[in-house]
Structure 1
């Protein structure tokens, strides 16, 4: 009993830190909502980019897998309910039908369940941060500066946004692989391949499905390549 309590006490501190970060992101989104005329899409990207960094906190604080999986299930259910109840109006009101918020929460749980038991949280971080920064910046910059438009699977995309997705995803992957796997050609080649694959997966974004396929696909490709090329 005493051993169990000794384990729970530091875990509660870690959870409060994680909740504090999510609270900060929520506050920032609220301030952005009232301070900018850009509309709900910009607020959604603030939440999108800010929330993804929870994976780094979980990795750094070594939060147990069951906590991450439980949080993923909880936020997935909240996001589903928000489509019928006004729980997340600034996030889900984006002018198109999308399950992206739910898929985003699900992807975190899937990657934690996959890579935490293996002792390889860096691959979960690659998947989530590729989605966080790659898709986040591709959406913002593509919407503002995209001029060369193409349509894929009923989704409107720009080549400028896809290029941003590929470049940012490559940089994010390198930022994680270089310190964890080493500065060698395998890391660089894997990062470039992941960037191209992430941009391709992001193109198929009907109903927000890319919020699941991009992080899970990027993490799987990173893990597979590093195993094969090692």
Structure 2
């Protein structure tokens, strides 16, 4: 009788969790639509609003303890939709970056991999770290670099700016520090690991092509933080 009751009560809770995430995603898409329609038609601004806003879904998944299967399923669906959008105009504003890129697809895939990996290990904070380093770090680096990046350098033919890369490093360091302080405590290991993660994430973001940094940055950041914690703290 207890099992039946638990099963019945868990179903409404799961749908409530999904509804909260869905409302957040819809809210972000509405903001992006409003900016595109009324405030600023720059497609890069719209892309970064979606890029950063949807990245925060990982925090909701972590805090609400959403089952891994939900995140994995959402990742698969998003990946299929983004792949189709490269052939059909499903997400024209999101995928228009002025160059050939599969960044949106890799972004969706990385979400599913990190959820599957770290939910299984019962260490969701590392999935959150990886996704947020990508969403906030890369997102703000692109905006700052395009608007204020006057000191340029090239990597594999792609032009980058030192201002954008510095932004990536600083934001990645802040995000990593906040998450590790909350989960591991305020100690020297937290600050050292956060710095290492920030530097490596910046390198992965710089040495990328076809948008593959949307896969290498979150996976690399999460994996590096996880391994270093095991070696230096546990």
Query: 1:152, 1:203 within 8 Å by CA — same for their partners in 2?
Result: yes
Structure 1, unaligned runs of 5 or more: none
* SS of the residue 1:151 aligns to: strand
Counterpart CA distance in 1 for 2:39 and 2:138 is 21
Structure 2 counterpart of 1:129: 132
RMSD, aligned CA: 1.1
Counterpart CA distance in 2 for 1:157 and 1:125 is 26
Counterpart CA distance in 2 for 1:202 and 1:171 is 17
Are residues 1:188 and 2:191 paired? Answer: yes
Among 150, 162, 166, the alignment partner of 1:147 is 150
Residues matched between the structures, number: 230
What displacement does 1:6 show? 2.7
What are the Cα deviations for residues 94-144 of structure 1, in whole angstroms up to 9, with x where unaligned? 211110111001111000000001110000010000011100110000111
What displacement does 1:41 show? 0.6
Indicate how the Cα distance of structure 1 residues 38 and 148 shifts in structure 2: closer, same or farther if over 3 A, else same: farther
Among 98, 102, 123, the alignment partner of 1:99 is 102
Indicate how the Cα distance of structure 1 residues 37 and 3 shifts in structure 2: closer, same or farther if over 3 A, else same: closer
Counterpart CA distance in 2 for 1:217 and 1:5 is 39
* SS of the residue 2:120 aligns to: coil
Structure 1 counterpart of 2:170: 167
TM-score by length of 1: 0.97
What displacement does 1:38 show? 4.9
Counterpart CA distance in 2 for 1:35 and 1:158 is 30
Query: 1:154, 1:206 within 8 Å by CA — same for their partners in 2?
Result: no
TM-score by length of 2: 0.96
Query: 1:49, 1:132 within 8 Å by CA — same for their partners in 2?
Result: yes
Counterpart CA distance in 2 for 1:222 and 1:127 is 9
Are residues 1:66 and 2:65 paired? Answer: no
Query: 1:131, 1:214 within 8 Å by CA — same for their partners in 2?
Result: yes
* 1:73-112 paired onto structure 2 within 5 Å: 73-112=76-115
Counterpart CA distance in 2 for 1:65 and 1:78 is 20
